[in-house]
Amino acid sequence: MSLRCEVDKMSTGWRFSWYRTVPYRAGLPSLSDKSYSLQPLSDNVTSEDSYTLIPAGATPTGGYVCRAGRGDPVYHTLYSEPQFIWSGDLHPSVSLTVNPNTTQHFRSKSLSLSCEEKGNSTGWRLMRYTERGVESGCVSNWGSVTGSTCTISYTYTWYSGVFWCESGSGEYSNAVNITVNDGDVILESPVHPVTEGDSVTLTCTFRYQETNPKLKTDFYKDGVLIKNETTGEMTIPTVSKSDEGFYKCKSDEGESPESWVTVRVPPGSVVSISLTRLLCGLLVMSPFLLVSIVLMVKCCRARGLCSTVKSPQDQIPCDDVIEQDESSV
């Protein structure tokens, strides 16, 4: 994966350096209006406006910043806003679980997040990335820790952000995007990517669900209405890559925020998909192939008949034979 730094200036002579955002740490560069520090990705300052992250293994989850400077020594410096990159590891050694298991949550409700280890890795801590920067651990101002679980007893809208688990040795879980909504409607959707071929259910939930029956609900994908349901739920029985996108729901109670649903294609599925499409194509085309074969045989027979007729006036035109055969098929 490559990062690119663009300077909105019609000038030359810019040199670039690259950083990853980390919780505040003495000795590392930091900006006065930010709550995080900048950890250099490389000691080199270069005129190249792009930087390639280490291709081996998963890309570390977190925010990335570029700095553009001019002069030697540098007398003018610009910093970009951090861009968040999600880990692409298919088999992380720790998994972040969310309860309730959905990306959207109502304000004032409780929420718990757990770092569940799959191997022998230790020292995992929960991380959060919001507009205010990176925060480390389940700090007292937004949660309490019990074992490996962080419990937030009362959620606020500014708790929305990207959460992940991180170890001291540089290992990362996959990231989860959490949205805390102040409205009366949320869309319950999968926290983690779903596998192509699985069944996926999206549920439109109302804040006062206990006293309010499920109403007629409209479901949207990428801003386009795709389904009307009276149960408040929409199920995709066999999800495919084309189902990936932004989803939301709307009813008389209100409208939910959008949530991104990721569909992961398992390794080796490309061949099976192509084979399936090929077989479907053959099944669709087989009636036409059969008709064509019948017509060819009858035409050949007609041509054989033509060769045995001695007088020209007794010959049977093959075109007439074909037309008769087509009308009789």
Confidence of residue 326 (pLDDT cuts 50, 70, 90): very low
Instruction: Return the pLDDT at 244.
Output: 95
pLDDT at 278: 38
Residue at token pair 């040795």 = 169
Whether the per-residue pLDDT at 303 is higher than 60: the answer is: no
Please state which of the ranges 175-189, 218-232, 273-287 shows the lowest mean pLDDT.
273-287
Please report the pLDDT score of residue 305 as a whole number.
Answer: 38
CB atoms within 10 A of CB 281: 10
Mean pLDDT of the chain: 76
Question: Encoding tokens for residue 97?
Answer: 């679980």
Q: Average pLDDT in the 74-87 region?
A: 78
Give long-range contacts, CB 8 A cutoff, 24+ apart: 28-36.
31/79, 34/133, 35/132, 35/133, 35/134, 35/135, 36/63, 36/82, 36/133, 36/134
Residue 68 has pLDDT above 70, yes or no: yes
Give the per-residue pLDDT at 277. 44
Rounded-to-integer distance, Cα 271 and Cα 274, Å: 5
| DSSP-derived 3-state class of residue 284 | helix
pLDDT band, residue 55 (cuts 50/70/90): low
Q: What is the mean pLDDT of residues 31-57?
A: 76
CATH assignment, 94-264: 2.60.40.10
CA distances (Å), origin 137, targets 77, 106, 143? 31, 22, 9
pLDDT of residue 122: 59
For residues 253-269, give the mean pLDDT: 87
Which string of DSSP letters, residue by residue, matches 171-234? -BPPPEEEEEE-SSEEEE--SSPEETTS-EEEEEEETTTTTS----EEEEETTEEEEEESSSEE
The residues that bridge with 217 in the sheet, in sequence order, are: 229
Work out the number of other CB atoms within 10 angstroms of the CB of residue 278.
Answer: 10
> What mean pLDDT is predicted for residues 211-233?
88
When pLDDT is averaged across residues 122-140 and rounded to a whole number, the result is 76
pLDDT band for position 38 (50/70/90)? Answer: confident
Can you tell me whether residue 52 is helix, strand or coil?
strand
State the pLDDT confidence band at 76, using cuts at 50, 70 and 90.
confident
Query: Which residue bears the tokens 């995992």?
Result: 124
Question: How far is residue 145's CA from residue 161's CA, in Å, rounded to a whole number?
Answer: 19
Which of 68-82, 218-232, 290-304 is the most confident on average?
218-232
The token pair at 85 is 């990159």
Long-range contacts of 152-156 (CB under 8 A, 24+ apart): 152/110, 152/111, 152/112, 152/113, 153/110, 154/108, 154/109, 154/110, 155/105, 155/106, 155/107, 155/108, 155/109, 155/110, 155/111, 155/180, 156/107, 156/180
Q: What are the sequence ranges of the domains in the chain?
A: 2-85, 94-264, 294-329
Which residue in the block uniquely carries the two structure tokens 């090929």? 278
What does the pLDDT read at residue 129?
83
The model's confidence at residue 234, banded by pLDDT at 50, 70 and 90, is very high
Nearest to 207, CA basis, from 104, 311, 308: 104
Give me the phi and psi of 77, to 5 degrees please: -130, 140
